[in-house]
Amino acid sequence: MGITLTRPIVLVGMMGSGKTAVGTALSRLLGVAFLDSDHEIERAAQMSVAEIFARDGESFFRARESEVLGRLLTGHPCVISTGGGAFLSEANREMISQLGVSVWLKADLELLWNRVRHKATRPLLRTPDPKATLAELLAARAPVYAKARIAVEAEPGLSINNMACKVARRLEQVEGLIEEIKDA
């Protein structure tokens, strides 16, 4: 017997929560494709997210992000990693709710900071006090991320594969998301 995913899985959460790494491992576990919305935007624009922010601004980027997300959600069921701000848009949340299943990878400030503090690719953290900025973003965004259909708590020391397994166990509880197929 095999399984088939009936809807896309959309990973949401803060930068550093593991959406890309866990999403890649989860897609392998489920035997489906992995797509990263930020990567898709960068590929289409032929520039990095940071360059898009610098050249065109955040509102331009968010509009492209919504367009890409809509395209990814209407493709084959897969695992989709979103940028940290994608789920903040009510229109994006509604689209995800209608076409996919949202999963919040929930991580505390210290875990997030340990993961992002050495990365220069985070345009929203280019401030005099990036940890304070991260704390403010987390405080503002957590109530919105809490609207996700499923929340899975990240833990320090938990491997990427173990976190993917933790997410998969929660997904198994979503009625109608996974269908078993009998081998012919």
CATH topology of domain 2-181: Rossmann fold (3.40.50)
Please give the pLDDT value at position 180.
57
17 is in an annotated binding site: yes
> Known binder of ligand: residue 115?
no
Confirm whether residue 70 is marked as ligand binding.
Answer: no
- Which residue, chain included where needed, has tokens 């299943």? 101
Q: Is 149 annotated as a binding residue?
A: no
The pLDDT tens digits for 139-173 are 999 999 999 999 999 988 899 999 999 999 899 88
Task: Quote the tokens at residue 47.
Answer: 């520039």
| Packing angle, helices 37-45 and 58-73, rounded to 10 | 110
**Which structure tokens are listed for 83?**
């940028």
Residues facing 147 on adjacent strands? none
Q: Is 2 annotated as a binding residue?
A: no
66 annotated as a binding-site residue: no
- Local structure of 104: helix, strand or coil: strand
Q: In the structure encoding, which two tokens stand for residue 38, read together?
A: 């930020």
Check the annotation: does 21 bind a ligand: yes
Q: Residue 172: what residue type?
A: E
Nearest-angstrom CA–CA distance, 93 and 82: 11
Low pLDDT (below 50) residues in the chain: 1, 182-184
With contact defined as beta carbons under 8 Å apart, do 105 and 154 qualify? yes
- Per-domain residue ranges of the chain: 2-181
Query: Is residue 7 annotated as involved in ligand binding?
Result: no
What is the per-residue pLDDT for 177? 76
19 is in an annotated binding site: yes
- How confident is the model at residue 183, as a pLDDT? 46
Which pLDDT does position 184 carry in this prediction? 41
